[in-house]
Amino acid sequence: MKITDLRCAELGNHLMLRVCTDDGVDGYSQVESSKPYLKDPILRLRDLIVGKDPTDVERVMRGIRQRGAAKPWGSPVSAIEMALWDIAGKAAGLPVYKLLGGKVRDRVMVYNGAIRDLEHDYTPEGFAAAGAWMRSLPHGFKFVKMAIAYHGDMKKVPGFLMGDLLDEMVHGWPVAGTISERGIAHVVECVAAMREALGPEIGIALDCGPGFSVPDAIRLARALEPLNPMWMEDLLTGDYTPWPGADLYREITTQTTIPIHTGEQLYLRQSFKELIEGKAVNIVGPDPCDVGGLAELKWIAEYADLHGILMAPHGTGDGLFGLAALVQVSATLPGNFIAFELPTGNPPWWFDIVEGLPDPLVVDGFIDVWDRPGIGIEFRVDRAREYLADEDRGFFDN
């Protein structure tokens, strides 16, 4: 079997990849939403993979892995890797988890991820309303995640900072400012209100930044300790920060009982080396669509497990094909796996153009691992064609 083509099309808010072969077995994958500008970088990799055997996943990847970088530039390489696993599984008649070593769990835990109340305001009352809404969801999440401080508009609340906001990006840029005493108290009040609304059965994780100074991160973590959050994520780096910041994270991790989490922006295992070996964080969260793919994520999980560090993969914008890939790899991860961040269809008609997902998808906070070949979902091509742009009309053609 040989690769004959690499195609890319915009479908809804996502870029879709199709790796074509001369055997009629094609692989699909998806790039995180909000990255339509990656279409040309993806297609530039075509000549580097055409003619190769797609089932020799590592051999193909060795030819393109050096073309990636920190988020978002690892997405083209990562998406190709996932499409190759889809082909390999279909060719073997096996689910991808079998090719990654076999599953160790029959269902995988997820948390709200892309399913969140985006209409709340940044007041205790708003956080309480968001918590009540999340509690009412039919998914039965065991815990949910909420954005605070520099992740979102809380940083713009009057008096939150002692000076001006030095914010160059939507989620902040280290260091974005100095949080006031009132700002710390405001975060605690909001989280406490949401904690109460969720009730004792549902945990809460906090997506924090980046944007914190080390002292502010420690101050806030200590203030939040009585509320016992699942973790505090991306305090110093994250999203589009192209370095891990292990030495600075270690200062925070050693000063609080709250687990510290980061890693969604990092590309390849090498970027996690200092975080893991230096015990700089308690939890790592690579995104398969940014880190280099499924095998790379599993390697990082196993290396983290060796060092007593937990794994909670990122995946907010990875779409339904990203969700399917996360189910496959998460089924194979060691006991340090907590849960992954649930992607969803964006727009909702995505659920009408694919088949193979369980219905309902999430039950009591878990997704059952399916056994269909490859990543286990397929397009309803006739329906999907309706949403292609004119320039992408040939995406599904033979």
319 within a domain of the structure (yes/no)? yes
Q: How many whole angstroms separate alpha carbon 97 and alpha carbon 31? A: 20
Do residue 58 and residue 176 come from a single domain? Answer: no
**Is 365 in the same domain as 258?**
yes
* Cα end-to-end distance, the chain, whole Å: 16
CATH of the domain at 7: 3.30.390.10
The domain of 29 spans: 3-93+379-392
Yes or no: say if 41 and 69 are a contact pair by the CB < 8 Å rule: no
Task: Specify the DSSP class assigned to residue 278.
Answer: T
CA–CA separation, 247 and 147 (whole Å): 24
d(CA 91, CA 254): 48
Residues 165 and 41 in one domain: no
Same domain? 344 vs 205: yes
Write the single-letter amino acid at 41. Answer: P
d(CA 13, CA 182): 38
Q: How far apart are CA 136 and CA 133, in angstroms?
A: 5
Q: For residue 287, is it within any domain?
A: yes
Cβ(391)–Cβ(365) under 8 Å?
no
The candidate with the shortest Cα–Cα distance to 286, out of 260, 17, 298, is 298
Question: How many separate domains does the chain show?
Answer: 2
Whether residues 253 and 275 fall in one domain: yes
Contact present, 341 and 145 (Cβ < 8 Å): yes
SS3 126: helix
Q: Give the three-class secondary structure for 388.
A: strand
Q: If you write DSSP's letter for every residue of 288-314 in order, what string do you get?
A: HHHHT-HHHHHHHHHHHHHTT-EE---
pLDDT tens for the chain, 398 residues long, are 999 999 999 998 899 999 999 999 999 999 988 788 999 999 999 999 999 999 999 999 999 999 999 999 999 999 999 999 999 999 999 999 999 999 999 999 999 999 988 778 999 999 999 999 999 999 999 999 999 999 988 998 999 999 988 865 666 567 888 999 999 999 999 999 999 999 999 999 999 989 999 999 999 999 999 999 999 999 999 988 999 999 999 999 999 999 999 999 999 999 999 999 999 999 999 999 999 999 999 999 999 999 999 999 999 999 999 999 999 999 999 999 999 999 999 899 999 999 999 999 999 999 999 999 999 999 999 999 999 989 999 999 99
